[in-house]
Amino acid sequence: MTPLPTALPADAARVSAEMLTKETVKPVGDPAAADRFAALMNGGPAASPANTEVHDATRLLQGEQDRIHSMEQRMQSFSDAAPHMSVAEVTAANIQLTHEMAMTTTRLSLATTVTKKSSDSFNSLLKNQ
């Protein structure tokens, strides 16, 4: 079995460039569609600047991020106050914080899912056009 060459001959790049410049590949499809596409790419309207409007998904995720930040602050306050609380107060506060944490996690999961699915749908729409 002969070993594979580890380097291309010195003129391989030149030969490849020559082959690519020759019209060896003919376009497939509707030439009119290709012309319309080229016209749109070359002379189409300029892309509008990035939209600075806050969208619903952004608001949704920002709200959940604010809830998480608030939750972190409340947990820190609870940790600071726990040594000065009775066992019943610690238990009650712990149950309340655990419930709020579970609800916040659920909301964040739902918001992330909605945002991801919306993004996937939008990308599919763009891909299909």
Q: Has residue 91 got a pLDDT over 80?
A: yes
Tokens 């999961």, residue located: 109
Percentage with pLDDT > 70 across the chain: 64
**What are the helix (H) ranges across the chain?**
12-21, 31-43, 56-81, 87-128
Whole-structure pTM value: 0.48
Half-sphere exposure at residue 35, Cβ-oriented, CA atoms within 13 angstroms: 3
pLDDT band with cut points at 50, 70 and 90 for residue 88: very high
Average confidence (pLDDT) over 24-33: 63
Average confidence (pLDDT) over 45-51: 53
Q: Give the chain's mean pLDDT.
A: 74
Q: What CA dihedral angle connects 56, 62, 63 and 64, to 10 degrees?
A: 110
The pair phi, psi for residue 64, each rounded to 5°, is -70, -35
Average confidence (pLDDT) over 103-126: 84
pLDDT band with cut points at 50, 70 and 90 for residue 96: very high
| pLDDT at residue 24 in the model | 52
| pLDDT at residue 92 in the model | 92
Token duo for residue 35: 């012309």
Tokens 């790049």, residue located: 13
| pLDDT at residue 46 in the model | 53
